[in-house]
């Protein structure tokens, strides 16, 4: 016999028994704590992990670009650049933002998702920015995406992909410290990938500095530093 017997729960004879119980009792609680939470944790112990990174292990589904405010340049695609950008000034956010997408993703039951970006460079040594990642629900084409549109004939609800229909909230946020250059920056995108969203917008809010932050793109020369999406999946079975 095995299971999660800690004084509140009976043990299961087999993993099939445990799975069958959870399917029949998806919302049943014992006090304390919740059966559902613990059975999910039990199965997640053996969750397999899949990493999607353009150009690595045969995966070629990665796309990306960055967009620049029209107060700086006319609407221009940037999908062939080796880096992705975030840019803020002392008083202005989202001067440059970036879009990242992953196609051909296994949509099995997801335990968690992490978007990892390699912090390849910056315009000045010093100062931090606040970076945000949100899901991007538009049917975008990188070679046609600019500050004003996500594809030819398809305009953002608000320029810069700032509209409520351009972003899937809630976003995930973290400070990017200038000392982190040369390391990986991770964002928890579990809620997004569980909802079937594999396209993301990366944008920034100002922390009082004029600053460009650069991340390796899908055109970066070192394929191992390109954007990486890591997903853990549910696997029903014995760990």
pTM: 0.80
Q: Where are the domains of the chain?
A: 1-45, 49-233
41: buried, middle or exposed (CB in 10 Å: 19+, 13-18, 0-12)? Answer: exposed
| Token reading at 106 | 């296994």
| Token reading at 160 | 């810069």
User: 236 near 19, Cβ under 8 Å?
Assistant: yes
Look up the CATH number of domain 49-233: 2.60.120
Integer Cα distance of 119 and 128 in angstroms: 13
Cβ count near 63 (within 10 Å): 21
Q: Helix 15-24 vs helix 35-44: angle between axes, to the nearest 10 degrees?
A: 140
Q: What is the pLDDT of residues 188-223, one digit of tens each?
A: 999 999 999 999 999 999 888 889 999 999 999 999
Q: What is the pLDDT of residues 183-193, one digit of tens each?
A: 999 999 999 99
How do beta strands 228-233 and 110-122 pair?
antiparallel
């Amino acid at each position: 016999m095995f299971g999660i017997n800690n004084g509140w729960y009976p043990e299961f004879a087999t993993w099939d028994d445990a799975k069958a119980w959870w399917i029949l009792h998806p919302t049943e609680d014992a006090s304390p704590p919740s059966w559902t939470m613990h059975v999910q944790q039990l199965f997640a112990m053996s969750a397999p992990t899949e990493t999607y990174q353009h150009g690595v292990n045969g995966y070629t589904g990665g796309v990306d670009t960055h967009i620049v405010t029209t107060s700086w340049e006319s609407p221009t695609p940037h999908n062939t650049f080796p880096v992705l950008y975030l840019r803020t000034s002392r008083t202005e956010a989202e001067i440059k933002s970036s879009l990242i997408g992953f196609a051909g993703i296994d949509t099995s039951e997801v335990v968690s998702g992490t978007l990892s970006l390699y912090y390849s460079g910056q315009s000045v040594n010093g100062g931090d920015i606040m970076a945000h990642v949100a899901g991007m629900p538009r049917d975008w084409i990188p070679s046609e995406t600019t500050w004003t549109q996500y594809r030819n004939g398809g305009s953002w609800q608000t320029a810069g992909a700032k509209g409520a229909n351009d972003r899937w909230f809630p976003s995930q946020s973290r400070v990017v410290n200038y000392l982190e250059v040369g390391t990986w920056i991770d964002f928890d995108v579990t809620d997004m990938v569980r909802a079937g969203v594999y396209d993301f917008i990366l944008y920034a809010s100002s922390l009082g500095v004029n600053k460009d932050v650069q991340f390796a793109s899908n055109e970066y020369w070192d394929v191992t530093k390109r954007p990486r999406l890591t997903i853990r999946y549910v696997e029903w079975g014995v760990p």
